[in-house]
Amino acid sequence: MARPPVPGSLRSVVLRCVPVLMLASASPARRRLLEQAGIPHQVRVSGVDEDQIQHAEPAELVKLLAQAKAQAVAQQLDPVGDAEITAVLGCDSVLSFEGQVFGKPSGPAEAIERWQRMAGGCGSLLTGHCLIRRRPPEVLACVETVVRFAPLSQAEIEVYVASGEPLQCAGGFALEGRGGLCIDGLDGCYSNVIGLSLPWLRQQLRVLELSGGFEACSS
């Protein structure tokens, strides 16, 4: 049976509900954040060699990494095949603790060593954000959240690391997972610690006049 025509008023909403944001990240946590926020998106991994990007300042490092990812994916967009993509978002996170930058631990031994240092202390989770639309400007920023780590025993540290979760996350913990039990509190944006600041993204989508498409899909 032929599908009945969509009224003009509804057609505009349907057309606005196609994916418009390209996430330049392989992170399942970032994708879940966008899904939970009702933001239509696609995912394309940048393939950027992160080890080639270095900077002494953690805030500048995450911005450079986010920018490299976003720019790499933006350059891959096809004018026809990716016509519905309105903007590309690149993100990268690190934990700054006592002047040292912590990305993903290389293995269980490093994760245990880090947690022995972090337990009972405070660190800064820094996430670089780069939002590129088809026309300038490019928006680049670092969002910082202070994380207060719980004072854990050696046994608690070893059990957490044995779960394998710390090995997949910048800083060696996942706030939305088992790592939530290892955190005493936060000062700043919660979603930023997971890998993407939703308040920052909301503000930028408004500035870039992209929010209307997202609002239509979430209503």
CATH number at residue 124: 3.90.950.10
1 lies in a domain? no
7 lies in a domain? no
User: Could you give the CA distance from residue 24 to residue 67 in angstroms, rounded to a whole number?
Assistant: 10
Query: DSSP state, 91?
Result: E
56 lies in a domain? yes
Among candidate residues 49, 82, 92, 187, the one labeled active-site is 92
Q: What angle do CA 137, 143, 145 make, to 5 degrees?
A: 170
79 lies in a domain? yes
200: nearest Cα among 69, 33, 75: 33
Contact at 8 Å (CB) between 213 and 40?
yes
Write out pLDDT tens, residues 46-97.
989 888 999 999 999 999 999 999 999 999 999 888 988 989 999 999 999 9
Mean pLDDT of 111-139: 93
Share of the chain above pLDDT 90, in %: 72
Higher pLDDT, 57 or 8: 57
177: nearest Cα among 29, 30, 36, 25: 29
92 is catalytic: yes
Instruction: Report the pLDDT value the prediction gives residue 133, as an integer from 0 to 100.
Output: 85
Mean pLDDT of 194-217: 74
Instruction: Note down the domain range covering 176.
Output: 15-218
Q: Does residue 217 carry a pLDDT above 70? A: no
Q: How many domains does the chain have?
A: 1
pLDDT-derived band at 208 (thresholds 50, 70, 90) equals low
Q: Does residue 28 carry a pLDDT above 90? A: yes
Write out pLDDT tens, residues 141-178.
999 999 999 999 999 999 999 999 999 998 999 999 99
Write out pLDDT tens, residues 94-121.
999 998 999 899 999 999 999 999 999 9
Q: Does residue 207 carry a pLDDT above 80? A: no
29 lies in a domain? yes
User: Could you give the CA distance from residue 111 to residue 26 in angstroms, rounded to a whole number?
Assistant: 21
Bridge partners (DSSP) listed for residue 100: 97
Q: Does residue 16 carry a pLDDT above 60? A: no
Q: What are 109-113's contacts with CB under 8 Å, separation 24+?
A: 111/161, 111/166, 111/167, 111/172, 112/157, 112/158, 112/161
Q: Average per-residue pLDDT in the chain?
A: 87
Q: Does residue 205 carry a pLDDT above 70? A: yes
Share of the chain above pLDDT 70, in %: 85
pLDDT-derived band at 123 (thresholds 50, 70, 90) equals very high
39 lies in a domain? yes
Higher pLDDT, 76 or 19: 76
Can you give the C-alpha Rg of the chain in angstroms? Answer: 19
Q: Does residue 15 carry a pLDDT above 80? A: no
pLDDT-derived band at 17 (thresholds 50, 70, 90) equals very low
132 lies in a domain? yes
pLDDT-derived band at 135 (thresholds 50, 70, 90) equals confident
2 lies in a domain? no
